[in-house]
Chain A
Protein backbone atom coordinates (compact mmCIF):
# COMPACT_ATOMS: atom_id res chain seq x y z
CA UNK A 1 0.00 0.00 0.00
CA UNK A 2 1.33 3.41 -1.01
CA UNK A 3 -0.17 6.62 0.38
CA UNK A 4 0.57 10.18 -0.57
CA UNK A 5 -1.14 12.32 2.03
CA UNK A 6 -1.54 16.07 1.52
CA UNK A 7 1.73 16.34 -0.37
CA UNK A 8 3.00 19.74 -1.36
CA UNK A 9 5.97 19.64 -3.68
CA UNK A 10 7.90 22.64 -4.91
CA UNK A 11 10.74 22.46 -7.41
CA UNK A 12 12.66 25.64 -8.28
CA UNK A 13 9.97 27.70 -6.50
CA UNK A 14 7.26 26.23 -8.74
CA UNK A 15 4.48 24.42 -6.93
CA UNK A 16 4.07 21.10 -8.71
CA UNK A 17 1.79 19.47 -6.18
CA UNK A 18 -0.41 21.28 -3.71
CA UNK A 19 -2.01 19.30 -0.92
CA UNK A 20 -2.23 16.26 -3.20
CA UNK A 21 -3.43 12.90 -1.95
CA UNK A 22 -3.26 9.49 -3.60
CA UNK A 23 -3.67 5.95 -2.39
CA UNK A 24 -2.40 2.92 -4.26
CA UNK A 25 -3.37 -0.56 -3.14
CA UNK A 26 -1.08 -3.58 -3.45
CA UNK A 27 -1.12 -4.85 -7.00
CA UNK A 28 -2.58 -1.67 -8.48
CA UNK A 29 -1.16 -0.44 -11.74
CA UNK A 30 -1.29 3.33 -11.79
CA UNK A 31 -0.27 5.62 -14.59
CA UNK A 32 0.20 9.34 -14.00
CA UNK A 33 -0.54 11.69 -16.86
CA UNK A 34 -0.40 15.41 -17.35
CA UNK A 35 1.22 18.19 -19.32
CA UNK A 36 4.96 18.27 -19.75
CA UNK A 37 6.67 19.69 -16.65
CA UNK A 38 3.58 19.30 -14.45
CA UNK A 39 5.45 17.14 -11.94
CA UNK A 40 4.83 13.53 -13.00
CA UNK A 41 8.45 12.47 -12.64
CA UNK A 42 8.82 14.59 -9.50
CA UNK A 43 5.92 12.70 -7.91
CA UNK A 44 7.79 9.45 -8.46
CA UNK A 45 11.02 10.95 -7.16
CA UNK A 46 9.50 12.29 -3.95
CA UNK A 47 8.20 8.81 -3.18
CA UNK A 48 11.77 7.51 -2.78
CA UNK A 49 13.02 10.62 -1.06
CA UNK A 50 14.95 11.85 -4.08
CA UNK A 51 13.07 15.15 -3.90
CA UNK A 52 12.04 16.83 -0.65
CA UNK A 53 8.38 17.61 -0.08
CA UNK A 54 7.32 20.87 1.56
CA UNK A 55 4.56 19.21 3.55
CA UNK A 56 2.54 16.02 3.77
CA UNK A 57 3.65 12.45 4.10
CA UNK A 58 4.50 9.48 1.94
CA UNK A 59 3.78 6.03 3.32
CA UNK A 60 4.88 2.74 1.86
CA UNK A 61 3.50 -0.42 3.47
CA UNK A 62 2.72 1.61 6.59
CA UNK A 63 6.21 3.09 6.84
CA UNK A 64 6.27 6.87 6.74
CA UNK A 65 9.11 8.23 4.64
CA UNK A 66 11.62 9.83 7.01
CA UNK A 67 15.34 9.88 7.71
CA UNK A 68 14.95 6.64 9.67
CA UNK A 69 12.92 4.77 7.05
CA UNK A 70 14.23 6.12 3.77
CA UNK A 71 16.74 3.29 3.29
CA UNK A 72 14.12 0.64 4.03
CA UNK A 73 11.60 2.24 1.67
CA UNK A 74 14.19 2.52 -1.08
CA UNK A 75 15.03 -1.12 -0.55
CA UNK A 76 11.40 -2.07 -1.33
CA UNK A 77 11.06 0.07 -4.44
CA UNK A 78 12.50 -0.24 -7.90
CA UNK A 79 12.85 3.07 -9.71
CA UNK A 80 13.44 2.94 -13.44
CA UNK A 81 13.85 6.20 -15.30
CA UNK A 82 13.44 7.11 -18.94
CA UNK A 83 17.20 7.09 -19.37
CA UNK A 84 18.34 4.57 -16.78
CA UNK A 85 21.81 4.91 -15.34
CA UNK A 86 23.55 1.56 -15.33
CA UNK A 87 26.39 2.76 -13.09
CA UNK A 88 29.09 0.33 -14.23
CA UNK A 89 31.35 0.07 -17.25
CA UNK A 90 30.15 -3.35 -18.38
CA UNK A 91 26.56 -4.53 -18.59
CA UNK A 92 27.20 -7.63 -16.46
CA UNK A 93 28.77 -5.43 -13.74
CA UNK A 94 25.78 -3.11 -13.94
CA UNK A 95 23.39 -6.03 -13.40
CA UNK A 96 25.33 -7.21 -10.37
CA UNK A 97 26.06 -3.73 -9.00
CA UNK A 98 23.44 -3.79 -6.22
CA UNK A 99 24.78 -7.09 -4.95
CA UNK A 100 28.07 -5.40 -4.08
CA UNK A 101 26.25 -3.16 -1.62
CA UNK A 102 25.83 -4.30 1.99
CA UNK A 103 22.04 -4.25 1.65
CA UNK A 104 22.07 -7.04 -0.99
CA UNK A 105 25.40 -8.67 -0.22
CA UNK A 106 25.15 -12.46 -0.37
CA UNK A 107 21.95 -12.40 -2.42
CA UNK A 108 23.69 -12.59 -5.78
CA UNK A 109 21.36 -14.19 -8.34
CA UNK A 110 22.27 -17.34 -10.20
CA UNK A 111 23.57 -17.16 -13.77
CA UNK A 112 20.55 -19.21 -14.78
CA UNK A 113 18.13 -16.59 -13.45
CA UNK A 114 20.01 -13.81 -15.26
CA UNK A 115 19.98 -15.69 -18.57
CA UNK A 116 16.30 -16.52 -18.11
CA UNK A 117 15.39 -12.86 -17.62
CA UNK A 118 17.58 -11.75 -20.53
CA UNK A 119 15.73 -14.17 -22.75
CA UNK A 120 12.32 -13.12 -21.46
CA UNK A 121 13.14 -9.50 -22.21
CA UNK A 122 14.46 -10.30 -25.67
CA UNK A 123 18.09 -9.62 -24.95
CA UNK A 124 20.97 -11.76 -26.10
CA UNK A 125 23.38 -13.02 -23.46
CA UNK A 126 26.19 -11.36 -25.48
CA UNK A 127 25.02 -8.05 -24.11
CA UNK A 128 26.56 -8.92 -20.76
CA UNK A 129 30.06 -8.39 -22.12
CA UNK A 130 29.26 -5.09 -23.81
CA UNK A 131 30.26 -1.70 -22.40
CA UNK A 132 27.24 0.01 -20.85
CA UNK A 133 27.86 3.12 -22.95
CA UNK A 134 27.62 1.16 -26.18
CA UNK A 135 24.15 -0.30 -25.73
CA UNK A 136 20.99 1.40 -26.98
CA UNK A 137 18.46 3.27 -24.86
CA UNK A 138 15.96 0.43 -25.21
CA UNK A 139 18.54 -2.12 -24.08
CA UNK A 140 19.42 0.06 -21.11
CA UNK A 141 15.77 0.23 -20.12
CA UNK A 142 15.44 -3.55 -20.23
CA UNK A 143 18.70 -4.08 -18.31
CA UNK A 144 17.37 -1.72 -15.63
CA UNK A 145 14.12 -3.74 -15.48
CA UNK A 146 16.08 -6.99 -15.17
CA UNK A 147 18.22 -5.51 -12.39
CA UNK A 148 15.08 -4.54 -10.48
CA UNK A 149 13.56 -8.00 -11.03
CA UNK A 150 16.76 -9.64 -9.79
CA UNK A 151 16.30 -7.68 -6.56
CA UNK A 152 12.81 -9.23 -6.21
CA UNK A 153 11.20 -5.82 -5.76
CA UNK A 154 7.43 -5.69 -5.74
CA UNK A 155 6.89 -1.94 -6.01
CA UNK A 156 7.96 -0.40 -9.30
CA UNK A 157 8.19 3.26 -10.21
CA UNK A 158 8.53 3.47 -13.96
CA UNK A 159 9.10 6.77 -15.73
CA UNK A 160 8.48 6.42 -19.47
CA UNK A 161 10.36 3.15 -19.54
CA UNK A 162 8.96 1.98 -22.85
CA UNK A 163 9.87 5.17 -24.72
CA UNK A 164 12.82 3.58 -26.50
CA UNK A 165 11.38 0.09 -26.94
CA UNK A 166 10.16 -1.64 -30.06
CA UNK A 167 6.68 -3.29 -29.79
CA UNK A 168 8.07 -6.75 -29.00
CA UNK A 169 10.36 -5.51 -26.24
CA UNK A 170 7.59 -3.33 -24.86
CA UNK A 171 5.30 -6.33 -24.68
CA UNK A 172 7.99 -8.32 -22.89
CA UNK A 173 8.60 -5.55 -20.33
CA UNK A 174 4.88 -5.10 -19.74
CA UNK A 175 4.41 -8.82 -19.29
CA UNK A 176 6.94 -8.68 -16.44
CA UNK A 177 5.69 -5.53 -14.72
CA UNK A 178 1.95 -6.11 -14.98
CA UNK A 179 2.03 -9.25 -12.87
CA UNK A 180 -0.56 -9.31 -10.08
CA UNK A 181 2.02 -9.23 -7.27
CA UNK A 182 3.63 -6.03 -8.55
CA UNK A 183 2.43 -2.58 -7.53
CA UNK A 184 3.19 -0.13 -10.28
CA UNK A 185 3.25 3.65 -10.27
CA UNK A 186 4.21 4.90 -13.68
CA UNK A 187 4.45 7.79 -16.05
CA UNK A 188 3.66 6.95 -19.64
CA UNK A 189 2.16 8.33 -22.81
CA UNK A 190 2.04 4.93 -24.43
CA UNK A 191 -1.61 3.95 -25.18
CA UNK A 192 -0.99 0.22 -24.58
CA UNK A 193 0.59 0.97 -21.22
CA UNK A 194 -2.18 3.36 -20.20
CA UNK A 195 -4.86 0.87 -21.20
CA UNK A 196 -3.21 -1.90 -19.24
CA UNK A 197 -3.15 0.16 -16.03
CA UNK A 198 -5.91 -0.18 -13.47
CA UNK A 199 -5.94 3.50 -12.55
CA UNK A 200 -5.20 6.66 -14.50
CA UNK A 201 -4.29 9.69 -12.43
CA UNK A 202 -3.89 13.15 -13.85
CA UNK A 203 -1.92 16.06 -12.43
CA UNK A 204 -3.91 19.19 -13.04
CA UNK A 205 -3.57 22.52 -11.25
CA UNK A 206 -1.09 20.89 -8.87
CA UNK A 207 -3.71 18.34 -7.75
CA UNK A 208 -3.90 14.61 -8.32
CA UNK A 209 -7.15 13.60 -9.95
CA UNK A 210 -8.17 10.07 -10.75
CA UNK A 211 -9.66 10.49 -14.21
CA UNK A 212 -10.66 6.94 -14.87
CA UNK A 213 -10.90 4.08 -12.50
CA UNK A 214 -10.13 1.28 -14.80
CA UNK A 215 -11.28 -1.48 -12.57
CA UNK A 216 -14.57 -0.92 -14.37
CA UNK A 217 -12.71 -1.47 -17.58
CA UNK A 218 -10.71 -4.34 -16.20
CA UNK A 219 -11.82 -6.61 -18.97
CA UNK A 220 -10.38 -4.27 -21.54
CA UNK A 221 -7.11 -4.07 -19.62
CA UNK A 222 -6.91 -7.82 -19.29
CA UNK A 223 -7.48 -8.22 -23.00
CA UNK A 224 -4.63 -5.83 -23.80
CA UNK A 225 -2.37 -7.62 -21.35
CA UNK A 226 -3.35 -11.00 -22.58
CA UNK A 227 -2.52 -10.06 -26.16
CA UNK A 228 0.76 -8.47 -25.06
CA UNK A 229 1.71 -11.56 -23.08
CA UNK A 230 0.99 -13.91 -25.93
CA UNK A 231 2.93 -11.61 -28.25
CA UNK A 232 5.92 -11.78 -25.89
CA UNK A 233 5.54 -15.54 -25.45
CA UNK A 234 5.39 -16.12 -29.19
CA UNK A 235 8.55 -14.11 -29.66
CA UNK A 236 10.24 -16.34 -27.14
CA UNK A 237 9.57 -19.29 -29.44
CA UNK A 238 7.29 -21.07 -27.10
CA UNK A 239 9.67 -20.77 -24.17
CA UNK A 240 8.00 -21.40 -20.79
CA UNK A 241 6.78 -18.21 -19.25
CA UNK A 242 5.74 -17.89 -15.64
CA UNK A 243 3.96 -14.51 -15.90
Chain B
Protein backbone atom coordinates (compact mmCIF):
# COMPACT_ATOMS: atom_id res chain seq x y z
CA UNK B 1 0.00 0.00 0.00
CA UNK B 2 1.05 3.60 -0.61
CA UNK B 3 2.42 5.51 2.38
CA UNK B 4 -0.35 7.91 3.37
CA UNK B 5 0.41 11.61 3.01
CA UNK B 6 -0.51 13.54 6.14
CA UNK B 7 -2.08 16.99 5.97
CA UNK B 8 1.29 18.39 7.05
CA UNK B 9 3.00 16.54 4.19
CA UNK B 10 0.48 18.00 1.78
CA UNK B 11 1.13 21.48 3.14
CA UNK B 12 4.84 20.90 2.51
CA UNK B 13 4.00 20.07 -1.11
CA UNK B 14 2.04 23.29 -1.50
CA UNK B 15 5.05 25.07 0.04
CA UNK B 16 7.20 23.64 -2.74
CA UNK B 17 5.19 25.68 -5.23
CA UNK B 18 6.45 28.86 -3.57
CA UNK B 19 9.61 28.33 -5.66
CA UNK B 20 7.93 28.78 -9.08
CA UNK B 21 5.82 31.60 -7.63
CA UNK B 22 8.98 33.35 -6.45
CA UNK B 23 10.47 32.91 -9.93
CA UNK B 24 7.31 34.37 -11.51
CA UNK B 25 7.50 37.30 -9.10
CA UNK B 26 11.18 37.91 -9.79
CA UNK B 27 10.76 37.74 -13.57
CA UNK B 28 7.52 39.73 -13.40
CA UNK B 29 5.79 37.20 -15.63
CA UNK B 30 2.32 38.19 -14.48
CA UNK B 31 1.47 34.53 -13.86
CA UNK B 32 1.08 34.56 -10.08
CA UNK B 33 -2.66 35.23 -10.05
CA UNK B 34 -3.38 32.61 -12.72
CA UNK B 35 -1.18 30.06 -10.95
CA UNK B 36 -2.83 30.62 -7.57
CA UNK B 37 -6.25 30.37 -9.18
CA UNK B 38 -5.26 27.17 -10.98
CA UNK B 39 -3.89 25.63 -7.77
CA UNK B 40 -7.07 26.60 -5.95
CA UNK B 41 -9.27 25.10 -8.66
CA UNK B 42 -7.20 21.93 -8.76
CA UNK B 43 -7.50 21.51 -4.98
CA UNK B 44 -11.26 21.98 -4.91
CA UNK B 45 -11.86 19.83 -8.01
CA UNK B 46 -9.68 16.96 -6.81
CA UNK B 47 -11.21 17.14 -3.35
CA UNK B 48 -14.70 16.87 -4.80
CA UNK B 49 -13.69 14.12 -7.22
CA UNK B 50 -11.95 12.25 -4.41
CA UNK B 51 -15.07 12.35 -2.30
CA UNK B 52 -17.29 11.44 -5.24
CA UNK B 53 -15.07 8.59 -6.45
CA UNK B 54 -14.93 7.24 -2.93
CA UNK B 55 -18.73 7.18 -2.96
CA UNK B 56 -18.89 5.65 -6.46
CA UNK B 57 -16.37 2.92 -5.64
CA UNK B 58 -18.22 1.98 -2.48
CA UNK B 59 -21.55 1.96 -4.26
CA UNK B 60 -20.16 0.14 -7.33
CA UNK B 61 -23.44 0.60 -9.18
CA UNK B 62 -23.13 0.36 -12.99
CA UNK B 63 -25.68 3.13 -13.58
CA UNK B 64 -23.99 5.57 -11.23
CA UNK B 65 -20.60 4.77 -12.80
CA UNK B 66 -22.01 5.25 -16.30
CA UNK B 67 -23.57 8.53 -15.23
CA UNK B 68 -20.16 9.69 -14.07
CA UNK B 69 -18.64 8.57 -17.39
CA UNK B 70 -21.35 10.48 -19.25
CA UNK B 71 -20.59 13.63 -17.25
CA UNK B 72 -16.89 13.26 -18.06
CA UNK B 73 -17.69 12.83 -21.77
CA UNK B 74 -19.91 15.91 -21.88
CA UNK B 75 -17.36 18.02 -19.99
CA UNK B 76 -14.54 16.84 -22.28
CA UNK B 77 -16.64 17.51 -25.35
CA UNK B 78 -17.50 21.04 -24.27
CA UNK B 79 -13.86 21.69 -23.50
CA UNK B 80 -12.76 20.39 -26.94
CA UNK B 81 -15.16 22.67 -28.78
CA UNK B 82 -14.29 25.70 -26.66
CA UNK B 83 -10.54 25.28 -27.07
CA UNK B 84 -10.81 24.51 -30.79
CA UNK B 85 -12.85 27.71 -31.25
CA UNK B 86 -15.92 25.94 -32.62
CA UNK B 87 -19.50 26.91 -31.79
CA UNK B 88 -20.88 24.44 -29.27
CA UNK B 89 -24.47 24.71 -30.41
CA UNK B 90 -23.56 23.56 -33.92
CA UNK B 91 -21.15 20.74 -33.14
CA UNK B 92 -22.09 19.44 -29.69
CA UNK B 93 -23.80 16.20 -30.69
CA UNK B 94 -21.45 15.37 -33.56
CA UNK B 95 -18.36 15.98 -31.48
CA UNK B 96 -19.84 14.02 -28.59
CA UNK B 97 -20.52 11.10 -30.92
CA UNK B 98 -16.89 11.10 -32.07
CA UNK B 99 -15.36 11.37 -28.61
CA UNK B 100 -17.81 9.05 -26.85
CA UNK B 101 -17.76 6.46 -29.63
CA UNK B 102 -14.01 6.07 -29.70
CA UNK B 103 -13.46 6.38 -25.93
CA UNK B 104 -16.17 3.91 -24.99
CA UNK B 105 -15.08 1.44 -27.67
CA UNK B 106 -11.42 1.27 -26.60
CA UNK B 107 -12.26 1.45 -22.88
CA UNK B 108 -14.72 -1.37 -23.33
CA UNK B 109 -12.10 -3.36 -25.24
CA UNK B 110 -9.50 -2.86 -22.50
CA UNK B 111 -11.85 -3.66 -19.63
CA UNK B 112 -13.91 -6.45 -21.17
CA UNK B 113 -11.29 -8.15 -23.37
CA UNK B 114 -8.00 -7.54 -21.55
CA UNK B 115 -8.67 -6.95 -17.82
CA UNK B 116 -11.99 -8.82 -17.44
CA UNK B 117 -12.74 -7.69 -13.88
CA UNK B 118 -15.48 -9.21 -11.72
CA UNK B 119 -17.99 -7.65 -12.00
CA UNK B 120 -17.34 -6.30 -15.52
CA UNK B 121 -18.69 -2.87 -14.56
CA UNK B 122 -16.34 -2.51 -11.58
CA UNK B 123 -16.10 1.25 -11.01
CA UNK B 124 -12.45 0.98 -9.90
CA UNK B 125 -11.55 0.05 -13.48
CA UNK B 126 -14.23 1.76 -15.51
CA UNK B 127 -13.93 5.31 -14.15
CA UNK B 128 -10.13 5.79 -14.10
CA UNK B 129 -9.56 4.03 -17.45
CA UNK B 130 -12.25 6.06 -19.26
CA UNK B 131 -10.89 9.21 -17.59
CA UNK B 132 -7.32 8.53 -18.68
CA UNK B 133 -8.30 7.80 -22.27
CA UNK B 134 -10.64 10.77 -22.39
CA UNK B 135 -8.01 13.17 -21.06
CA UNK B 136 -5.68 12.23 -23.90
CA UNK B 137 -8.46 12.30 -26.50
CA UNK B 138 -9.30 15.81 -25.41
CA UNK B 139 -5.83 17.09 -26.20
CA UNK B 140 -5.63 15.36 -29.59
CA UNK B 141 -9.13 16.45 -30.60
CA UNK B 142 -8.46 20.08 -29.81
CA UNK B 143 -5.25 19.90 -31.85
CA UNK B 144 -6.77 18.09 -34.82
CA UNK B 145 -9.95 20.18 -35.08
CA UNK B 146 -8.07 23.44 -34.68
CA UNK B 147 -5.39 22.43 -37.21
CA UNK B 148 -7.94 21.14 -39.72
CA UNK B 149 -10.12 24.25 -39.85
CA UNK B 150 -7.31 26.77 -39.48
CA UNK B 151 -5.53 25.00 -42.36
CA UNK B 152 -8.53 25.44 -44.65
CA UNK B 153 -9.10 29.04 -43.53
CA UNK B 154 -5.47 29.93 -44.20
CA UNK B 155 -5.46 28.21 -47.61
CA UNK B 156 -8.88 29.20 -48.86
CA UNK B 157 -7.65 29.59 -52.45
CA UNK B 158 -5.92 26.24 -52.39
CA UNK B 159 -9.02 24.54 -51.02
CA UNK B 160 -11.23 26.14 -53.67
CA UNK B 161 -8.71 25.13 -56.35
CA UNK B 162 -9.16 21.48 -55.38
CA UNK B 163 -12.95 21.84 -55.68
CA UNK B 164 -12.64 23.58 -59.05
CA UNK B 165 -10.40 20.79 -60.27
CA UNK B 166 -13.22 18.35 -59.63
CA UNK B 167 -12.54 17.23 -56.07
CA UNK B 168 -15.42 16.20 -53.85
CA UNK B 169 -15.56 17.74 -50.38
CA UNK B 170 -13.86 14.67 -48.91
CA UNK B 171 -11.12 14.81 -51.57
CA UNK B 172 -10.60 18.56 -51.19
CA UNK B 173 -10.32 18.34 -47.40
CA UNK B 174 -7.98 15.34 -47.38
CA UNK B 175 -4.68 17.31 -47.33
CA UNK B 176 -5.92 19.26 -44.30
CA UNK B 177 -7.17 16.07 -42.66
CA UNK B 178 -3.73 14.51 -43.05
CA UNK B 179 -2.07 17.57 -41.47
CA UNK B 180 -4.55 17.59 -38.62
CA UNK B 181 -4.19 13.91 -37.73
CA UNK B 182 -0.41 14.21 -37.98
CA UNK B 183 -0.44 17.20 -35.61
CA UNK B 184 -2.68 15.33 -33.19
CA UNK B 185 -0.70 12.09 -32.99
CA UNK B 186 2.91 13.17 -33.51
CA UNK B 187 3.44 14.20 -29.85
CA UNK B 188 2.03 10.85 -28.73
CA UNK B 189 4.28 8.89 -31.08
CA UNK B 190 7.24 10.75 -29.57
CA UNK B 191 5.98 10.03 -26.05
CA UNK B 192 5.44 6.35 -26.81
CA UNK B 193 8.90 6.05 -28.35
CA UNK B 194 10.66 7.51 -25.27
CA UNK B 195 8.44 5.92 -22.64
CA UNK B 196 10.39 4.31 -19.82
CA UNK B 197 13.61 6.09 -20.79
CA UNK B 198 12.76 9.76 -20.68
CA UNK B 199 9.75 9.44 -18.41
CA UNK B 200 7.97 6.91 -16.28
CA UNK B 201 4.31 7.14 -17.22
CA UNK B 202 1.73 8.27 -14.69
CA UNK B 203 -0.34 5.13 -14.57
CA UNK B 204 2.68 2.89 -14.08
CA UNK B 205 4.16 5.17 -11.42
CA UNK B 206 0.81 5.25 -9.66
CA UNK B 207 0.54 1.48 -9.65
CA UNK B 208 4.09 1.03 -8.39
CA UNK B 209 3.46 3.58 -5.63
CA UNK B 210 0.26 1.68 -4.89
CA UNK B 211 2.29 -1.48 -4.26
CA UNK B 212 2.02 -3.29 -7.62
CA UNK B 213 5.00 -5.22 -9.00
CA UNK B 214 6.78 -3.30 -11.80
CA UNK B 215 6.13 -6.05 -14.39
CA UNK B 216 2.42 -5.97 -13.60
CA UNK B 217 2.40 -2.17 -13.84
CA UNK B 218 4.19 -2.32 -17.20
CA UNK B 219 1.54 -4.61 -18.70
CA UNK B 220 -1.18 -2.18 -17.68
CA UNK B 221 0.83 0.70 -19.04
CA UNK B 222 1.23 -0.97 -22.43
CA UNK B 223 -2.50 -1.71 -22.47
CA UNK B 224 -3.48 1.83 -21.62
CA UNK B 225 -1.07 3.29 -24.19
CA UNK B 226 -2.59 1.11 -26.91
CA UNK B 227 -6.04 2.31 -25.86
CA UNK B 228 -5.04 5.97 -25.66
CA UNK B 229 -3.34 5.93 -29.05
CA UNK B 230 -6.20 4.13 -30.79
CA UNK B 231 -8.83 6.35 -29.19
CA UNK B 232 -6.92 9.50 -30.09
CA UNK B 233 -6.60 8.60 -33.76
CA UNK B 234 -10.17 7.34 -34.11
CA UNK B 235 -11.70 10.26 -32.18
CA UNK B 236 -9.71 12.87 -34.12
CA UNK B 237 -10.73 11.34 -37.43
CA UNK B 238 -14.38 10.84 -36.46
CA UNK B 239 -14.67 14.33 -35.03
CA UNK B 240 -13.43 15.94 -38.22
CA UNK B 241 -15.48 13.74 -40.53
CA UNK B 242 -18.65 14.22 -38.49
CA UNK B 243 -18.16 17.99 -38.46
CA UNK B 244 -17.94 18.30 -42.26
CA UNK B 245 -21.68 18.39 -43.06
CA UNK B 246 -22.17 21.29 -40.62
CA UNK B 247 -18.95 23.19 -41.32
CA UNK B 248 -19.47 23.49 -45.09
CA UNK B 249 -22.47 24.87 -46.91
CA UNK B 250 -24.23 23.18 -49.81
CA UNK B 251 -21.68 24.66 -52.26
CA UNK B 252 -18.81 23.18 -50.20
CA UNK B 253 -17.75 26.62 -48.95
CA UNK B 254 -16.42 26.74 -45.40
CA UNK B 255 -18.98 28.53 -43.23
CA UNK B 256 -17.48 31.44 -41.34
CA UNK B 257 -20.21 31.47 -38.71
CA UNK B 258 -19.11 28.19 -37.12
CA UNK B 259 -16.13 29.67 -35.31
CA UNK B 260 -16.13 31.53 -32.03
CA UNK B 261 -12.99 33.48 -32.98
CB-defined contacts of A51 to chain B, threshold 8 Å: 253
Q: Are A87 and B165 in contact (CB under 8 A)?
A: yes
Within 8 Å of chain A (Cβ to Cβ): is B252? yes
Known: A50-B253, A67-B250. A101 touches B166 (CB 8 A): yes
Q: Are A75 and B166 in contact (CB under 8 A)?
A: yes
CB contacts under 8 Å to A, within B138-172, are 155, 157-158, 160-168, 171
Cα distance A70–B252 in the bound complex, in angstroms: 9
CB contacts under 8 Å to B, within A40-95, are 48-52, 66-67, 70-71, 74-75, 77-79, 81, 83-85, 87
CB-defined contacts of A104 to chain B, threshold 8 Å: 165-166
Cα distance A79–B249 in the bound complex, in angstroms: 20
CB-defined contacts of A78 to chain B, threshold 8 Å: 164
CB-defined contacts of B250 to chain A, threshold 8 Å: 66-67, 70
Contact of A50 among B155, B158, B160, B171 (CB under 8 A): B160
Cα distance A233–B204 in the bound complex, in angstroms: 75
Cα distance A102–B166 in the bound complex, in angstroms: 8
Contact of A87 among B158, B168, B249, B251 (CB under 8 A): B158
CB contacts under 8 Å to B, within A73-125, are 74-75, 77-79, 81, 83-85, 87, 97-98, 100-104
**How many A-B contacts if CB must be within 8 Å?**
63
| B176, chain A: closest CB distance, angstroms | 12
Size class of the contact patch on chain A: 20 to 34
Cα distance A52–B252 in the bound complex, in angstroms: 11
Known: A52-B251, A67-B251. A74 touches B166 (CB 8 A): yes
Contact of A85 among B158, B167, B251, B252 (CB under 8 A): B158
Known: A101-B171, A103-B166, A103-B167. A49 touches B253 (CB 8 A): yes
Q: Are A102 and B168 in contact (CB under 8 A)?
A: yes
Cα distance A75–B163 in the bound complex, in angstroms: 9
Chain B residue, CB-CB nearest to A98: B165
Chain B residue, CB-CB nearest to A103: B166
Cα distance A90–B158 in the bound complex, in angstroms: 15
| B17, chain A: closest CB distance, angstroms | 48
Cα distance A78–B163 in the bound complex, in angstroms: 11
CB-defined contacts of B171 to chain A, threshold 8 Å: 100-102
| B24, chain A: closest CB distance, angstroms | 42
Within 8 Å of chain B (Cβ to Cβ): is A142? no
Within 8 Å of chain B (Cβ to Cβ): is A147? yes
| B178, chain A: closest CB distance, angstroms | 13
Chain A residue, CB-CB nearest to B165: A98
CB contacts under 8 Å to A, within B158-204, are 158, 160-168, 171
Per-residue interface assignment for chain A, residues 9 to 51, with 1 indicating a CB less than 8 Å from any chain B CB and 0 otherwise: 0000000000000000000000000000000000000001111
CB-defined contacts of A147 to chain B, threshold 8 Å: 165
Q: Are A70 and B251 in contact (CB under 8 A)?
A: yes
CB contacts under 8 Å to A, within B231-261, are 249-253
Q: Are A101 and B168 in contact (CB under 8 A)?
A: yes
Cα distance A83–B161 in the bound complex, in angstroms: 11
Cα distance A74–B160 in the bound complex, in angstroms: 11
Cα distance A43–B252 in the bound complex, in angstroms: 18
CB-defined contacts of A97 to chain B, threshold 8 Å: 162, 165
Q: Are B161 and A74 in contact (CB under 8 A)?
A: no
Contact of A98 among B157, B166, B249, B252 (CB under 8 A): B166
| A57, chain B: closest CB distance, angstroms | 14
| A137, chain B: closest CB distance, angstroms | 14
| B36, chain A: closest CB distance, angstroms | 43
Q: Given known contacts A50-B163, A85-B158, A102-B171, what 12 new A-B pairs fall within 8 Å (CB)?
A: A49-B252, A50-B164, A50-B253, A52-B249, A74-B166, A75-B166, A84-B161, A87-B158, A87-B162, A98-B166, A100-B171, A104-B166
Q: Sample 18 A-B pairs with CB under 8 A, ordered by A number.
A: A49-B253, A50-B160, A50-B253, A66-B250, A70-B251, A71-B166, A83-B157, A85-B155, A85-B157, A85-B158, A87-B165, A97-B165, A101-B162, A101-B166, A102-B166, A103-B168, A104-B166, A147-B165
Binding site for B on A (CB under 8 A): 48-52, 66-67, 70-71, 74-75, 77-79, 81, 83-85, 87, 97-98, 100-104, 147, 151
**Which 7 A-B pairs rank lowest in CB-CB distance, beginning with the nearest?**
A67-B250, A103-B166, A98-B165, A49-B251, A85-B161, A85-B158, A101-B167
Binding site for A on B (CB under 8 A): 155, 157-158, 160-168, 171, 249-253
